[in-house]
Amino acid sequence: MAHSLQDRHVLVTGAGSGIGAAIARRLARDGARLTLAGRRAEPLEALAGELGGERAFPLAGFDVTDAQAIAAGLEKARANFGPVSILVNNAGEAPSASFERTSLDLWSKVLAVDLTGVFQVTQAVLPDLKAHGTGARIITIASTAGLTGYAYVSAYCAAKHGVIGLTRALALELARSGITVNAVCPGFTDTPIIARSIETIMQKTGRSAEEALAEFTRSNPQGRLVAPEEVADSVAWLAAPGASAVTGQAIAVAGGEIMAG
């Protein structure tokens, strides 16, 4: 499987760090050509330099909430590597607040990025995927928050549940086209977002780093954070030719926290 994606054009949103960067590294090893999309240039350019210019193109200013930015970005991506045949929707954010303190602005922003952003990017890329046909892929990074509930992230849970619903609906619409549509649902993952959350807990509560970390690992039966590379491996499997019969699925990568029946 070392070159199972040889020269396939993969668009990864939110590619600059964390899970997105891990996915880009993994798919590059499988031979893919990657458009690394995100808002900030510096991390995208650094990752593209690591992967090599012939393998990765940094696409800064790619705002998944802005239809014009998406269209302009796709033009640049196609000019570099041709039509997109694999889309990885990874961009997202997860601010926390109690439901009573969740303002309409916060609610709207989270849904705009985490749900409507997936809709907009997928709809913009879909003509490329349909032209490619069999073997094209839509893979969205959802969350265990799309499969269960968590306190203090009501907007995030709502958005991720919506992403999984969208995944299942689109999988049925595209089933005969040869395009598969799946979601990967990580549990708490060792990313900069979690690192910032741990710092916030320490500052607000005076707890140690170990005590703050325990807030995130207690729900994982393995007692640990998920590694971004483990999420990337699941994406690589779904992107590969051998997963052509897997569609409409929400696959939990969470150490046993979520067990689908």
For residue 205, the tally of other CB atoms under 10 A from its CB is: 11
CA angle 143, 146, 152 (to 5 degrees): 90
Q: Considering 57, 62, 81, 156, which one is annotated as catalytic?
A: 156
Side chain identity at 63, as an amino acid letter?
A: D
Strand partners, 33: 9
Give which of 190, 79, 176, 189 is closest to 143, Cα–Cα: 189
CA angle 39, 35, 194 (to 5 degrees): 50
Name residues whose C-beta falls within 8 Å of residue 194's C-beta, 6 or more positions apart in sequence.
Answer: 188, 216, 225
Please say if 152 is a catalytic residue: no
* Residue 105: burial class (beta carbons within 10 Å; 0-12, 13-18, 19+): exposed
Alpha-carbon distance of 137 to 193, in angstroms, equals 27
Question: Which residues does the annotation mark as catalytic?
Answer: 156
